[in-house]
A and B are shown apart, each in its own frame.
Chain A
């Protein structure tokens, strides 16, 4: 079993819809939870992060961590075609600041 599980999709939704992207994990010691966005044939870019539990909002994006369920989510409001990309979750174990544990990514398609 992988430490971090992420549905590969693709997830296809109409423009303007609310999108929910999720990751589950098995290691309760993970501390930082990050979301990266990766456009086709590009490198990933950090979208947002949260530390421990709770919510964090940045414009149309909200990241949520539920440590009791070992579940993290990224919500995108008023989705735009430019949001079409692969979204990767990543987590940091407490014993290493260098080795992030990555999900395989969910491909998101926003239809105009």
Chain B
């Protein structure tokens, strides 16, 4: 039972490089999310996709783009990485349009370092 799978688990980028973080869920959830987690800051929402075919900005979208490829997959792209984007990135999914009662299921995270 895989749940939410993120790739890669670790990545080191040079400033200015681009990369795409991949996320896939096998729970048939409608909504998917990308968060970043920094020390002392808690989780901050970057982008979310309420349902297949829609994406919306969260709290900290600058420097990122997303694609909801299909119901299972939601990718996050950094076009020109900056040291400020060094963080742990989490993908999550939930069943009913972000209903907080049902909670979100998280992947194991991608640890990204930009040098």
From A8, A41, A98, name the one whose CB has the most chain B CB atoms within 10 angstroms: A98
- Tell me the chain A residues, 6-29 only, with Cβ under 8 Å from chain B: 6, 8
Complex Cα distance, B90 from A42, in Å, reads 9
- Secondary structure at the A interface, as helix, strand, loop or mixed, is loop
- Which of chain B's residues have a CB closer than 8 A to the CB of A4? 42
Asked if B109 contacts A42 (CB within 8 A), the reply is: yes
Complex Cα distance, B35 from A90, in Å, reads 13
Complex Cα distance, B100 from A40, in Å, reads 24
Asked if B58 contacts A104 (CB within 8 A), the reply is: no
- Which of chain B's residues have a CB closer than 8 A to the CB of A42? 108-109
Counting contact residues on chain B (CB < 8 A from A), the size range is 20 to 34
- Tell me the chain A residues, 22-77 only, with Cβ under 8 Å from chain B: 32, 34, 41-46, 49, 51
Pick out which of these stretches binds chain A: B11-19, B67-75, B76-84, B91-99. B91-99
Asked if B107 contacts A32 (CB within 8 A), the reply is: no
- Which of chain A's residues have a CB closer than 8 A to the CB of B48? 98-99
- Which of chain A's residues have a CB closer than 8 A to the CB of B43? 44, 88, 90, 100, 102
Given A99-B59, A102-B44, 10 more pairs with CB closer than 8 A: A41-B109, A43-B108, A45-B106, A51-B101, A88-B43, A90-B100, A99-B45, A99-B48, A100-B45, A103-B42
Listed by A's residue number, 7 A-B pairs whose Cβ atoms lie within 8 Å are A34-B103, A43-B108, A88-B42, A90-B100, A98-B45, A98-B56, A98-B98
Which residue numbers of B lie inside 8 Å of A, CB to CB?
A: 4, 31, 33, 40-45, 48, 50, 56, 58-59, 90, 92, 97-101, 103-109
